[in-house]
């Protein structure tokens, strides 16, 4: 039976647990995520394991034409220009929200320190959010929020 992409918010809000490479291999998780991605409502760039109902800190994605995985990832630095992006999620069909993400991140995956910029950085932040039970709708950016921040800045600087 093929894995389906989960849309149940209670499952998606589950915090994923650390895993091992041998567990990922025994579950054939890379192939399962790739197959589930093909059944999505739109072409996706990646999936976290929780999106097929498996609460492990693992994701598969494609960035810049290259397939990659995240194993027990952790962002250790996020900086640079903020990117405002209209972002979709395969677990929330036909929905896009404006989000704000960092343009540059440093992270650890599989015990190795790495960095990412631009689309890849956004994608990794999105997948790690899934592992932490956070959805892109939680990161929604609104003009109202920005206006409030600007108002506070003006008060501080005056």
Give the residue-averaged pLDDT of 112-135: 97
Q: What is the pLDDT of residue 42?
A: 87
Range from 41-50, 127-136, 148-157 carrying the lowest mean pLDDT? 148-157
Q: What is the pLDDT of residue 53?
A: 97
Per-residue H/E/C for 110-128: CCEEEEEEHHHHHHHHHHH
In the predicted structure, residue 82 carries a pLDDT above the cut 70 = yes
Q: Catalytic annotation on 74?
A: no
| Whole-structure pTM value | 0.87
Give the residue-averaged pLDDT of 7-31: 97
Q: What is the pLDDT of residues 64-75, one digit of tens each?
A: 999 999 999 999
**Alpha carbons 128 and 70: distance in angstroms, whole number:** 9
Cα 3–chain centre separation:
19
Range from 15-19, 122-126, 143-147 carrying the lowest mean pLDDT? 143-147
- Which position among 9, 74, 127, 150 bears the catalytic label? 127
Q: State percent of the chain over pLDDT 90.
A: 74
Domains and CATH numbers, the chain: 9-157 (3.90.45.10)
Q: What is the pLDDT of residue 25?
A: 98
In the predicted structure, residue 57 carries a pLDDT above the cut 80 = yes
Give the residue-averaged pLDDT of 41-54: 94
């Amino acid at each position: 039976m093929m894995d389906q992409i989960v849309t149940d918010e209670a499952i998606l809000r589950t915090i994923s647990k650390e895993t091992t490479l041998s567990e990922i291999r025994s579950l054939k998780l890379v192939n399962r995520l790739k197959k589930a991605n093909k059944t999505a409502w739109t072409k996706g760039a990646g999936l976290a394991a929780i999106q097929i109902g498996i609460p492990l800190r693992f994701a598969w994605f494609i960035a810049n034409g290259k397939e990659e995985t995240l194993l027990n990832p952790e962002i250790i630095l996020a900086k640079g220009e903020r990117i405002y992006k209209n972002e979709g999620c395969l677990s929330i069909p036909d929905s896009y929200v404006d989000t704000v993400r960092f343009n540059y991140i440093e992270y650890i995956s599989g015990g190795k320190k790495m960095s990412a910029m631009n689309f890849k950085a956004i994608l990794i932040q999105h997948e790690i959010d899934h592992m932490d039970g956070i959805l892109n709708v939680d990161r929604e950016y609104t003009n109202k929020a920005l206006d409030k921040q600007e108002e506070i800045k003006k008060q501080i600087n005056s």
